[in-house]
Chains A and B, each alone.
Chain A
Amino acid sequence: NAGVTQTPKFQVLKTGQSMTLQCAQDMNHEYMSWYRQDPGMGLRLIHYSVGAGITDQGEVPNGYNVSRSTTEDFPLRLLSAAPSQTSVYFCASSYSLLNYGYTFGSGTRLTVV
């Protein structure tokens, strides 16, 4: 049982490049989400999914796309990287929407130059 696995751990992109951050969980959790963490800003929700085939936007969705083709995987795509997207990205999953704590992945530190 690996929990929530994120790859890569570190990434440097040039402005305008695209990439996909991978997230996979093996706990059969229905709810998955992506957060970004910036100094002094806490954790802000980018996109979330309540099950396979269902996704929705969070607080800061601009510049990001997601898809959920399986229960296990929830990749985050940066369409055209910008320096403002320099951040630490966390994927999280939960058994249910309500009343259950999240399990977080180990994070991806992304730098856009």
Chain B
Amino acid sequence: GENVEQHPSTLSVQEGDSAVIKCTYSDSASNYFPWYKQELGKRPQLIIDIRSNVGEKKDQRIAVTLNKTAKHFSLHITETQPEDSAVYFCAGVSGGGADGLTFGKGTHLIIQP
């Protein structure tokens, strides 16, 4: 099955700076990579996703890049704001998808005022 590694586990940035979270995956057949944001005590919510036929996708201050050759993908948040503080999870779909999403262990993003 799929194995997803996520780094760093904690990331602290100054408000207004950029944040980058990186994930690697093991299954070369994986073709869908979503990112979820989880605020304290809340459910994970999808914030952006990318498919394997696309190298980059942007949505306002959030972007995701995918390098299929190296089997890694990254989340980029620009002009960080206090409301960006949360735990972020990357995920990949293994094989034919029946095994569902395999999640990374999460990154706690802290925005310092």
Contacts and interface: CB of A to CB of B under 8 A. Distances in A.
A48 B106 CA distance: 22
Contacts of B96: 97-98
Interface in B20-68: 31-32, 34, 42-46, 49, 51
Interface residues of B, number: 25
A40 interface: yes
A31 B93 CA distance: 13
Contacts of B16: none
A99 B98 contact: no
Most chain B Cβ neighbours within 10 Å, of A33, A35, A41, A102: A102
A71 to B, nearest CB: 17
A107 B40 CA distance: 12
Given A97-B97, A101-B34, A101-B49, A42 B43 contact: no
Given A50-B98, A99-B51, A106-B43, A42 B104 contact: yes
Contacts of B31: 98-99
A98 B97 contact: yes
A102 B46 contact: yes
B43 A104 contact: yes
A99 B32 contact: yes
Interface string B74-113: 0000000000000001000100111111111110000000
Contacts of A31: 100
28 contacts: A31-B100, A40-B105, A41-B105, A42-B6, A42-B103, A42-B105, A43-B101, A43-B103, A45-B99, A48-B99, A56-B98, A58-B99, A90-B43, A90-B44, A97-B93, A97-B97, A97-B98, A97-B100, A98-B96, A98-B97, A101-B34, A101-B49, A102-B34, A102-B44, A102-B46, A104-B44, A105-B43, A107-B43
